[in-house]
């Protein structure tokens, strides 16, 4: 198992009434600009469609795959490029939560048959 792979979970919201603008900016500008940051390898975005217990504060998740020895340094690299990245007034900055998780076990797969 590679100990230098990490997942960054970025939970966000659009400014109310600006969801289309938020999504267009996120896909066309934010994700490509983040993927230019050293150690940022891929990104996939998700929208909340169901919850089991509490309703989370944020409706959107961007899941970034990172590669590097120090997760804190990867986040610092992202922060260092903030002023260079395209900003959007449709992005609710107050809603942002960022977490980096590092693997502690190999990925496991379930049965892939279509029962």
Q: What is the mean pLDDT of the chain?
A: 93
Confidence at residue 114, expressed as pLDDT on a 0 to 100 scale: 65
Confidence at residue 1, expressed as pLDDT on a 0 to 100 scale: 46
pLDDT digits (tens, 9 = 90+) for 63-80: 999 999 999 999 999 999
Angle (CA) 12-71-92 rounded to 5° is 15
Region 8-26: mean pLDDT is 98
Q: Would you tell me how many other CB atoms lie within 10 Å of the CB of residue 11?
A: 18
Region 70-95: mean pLDDT is 95
Confidence at residue 111, expressed as pLDDT on a 0 to 100 scale: 87
**Strands 97-101 and 5-12, how do they pair?**
antiparallel
Region 15-29: mean pLDDT is 98
Structural domains of the chain in order of their starting residue, each with its CATH number: 5-49+56-101 (3.30.70.100)
| Best CA proximity match to 78, nearest among 114, 45, 31, 44 | 31
Q: What is the pTM of this model?
A: 0.88
């Amino acid at each position: 198992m590679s100990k230098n792979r990490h997942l960054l979970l970025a939970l966000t919201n659009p400014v109310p009434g600006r969801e289309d603008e938020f999504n267009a900016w996120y896909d066309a500008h934010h994700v490509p600009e983040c993927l230019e940051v050293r150690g940022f390898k891929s990104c996939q975005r998700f929208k909340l469609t169901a919850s089991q217990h509490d309703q989370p504060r944020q409706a959107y998740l961007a899941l970034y795959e990172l590669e590097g020895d120090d997760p804190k340094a990867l986040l610092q690299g992202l922060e260092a490029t903030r002023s260079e990245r395209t900003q959007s007034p449709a992005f609710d900055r107050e809603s942002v939560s960022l977490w980096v998780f590092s693997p502690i076990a190999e990925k496991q797969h379930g049965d892939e048959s279509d029962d």
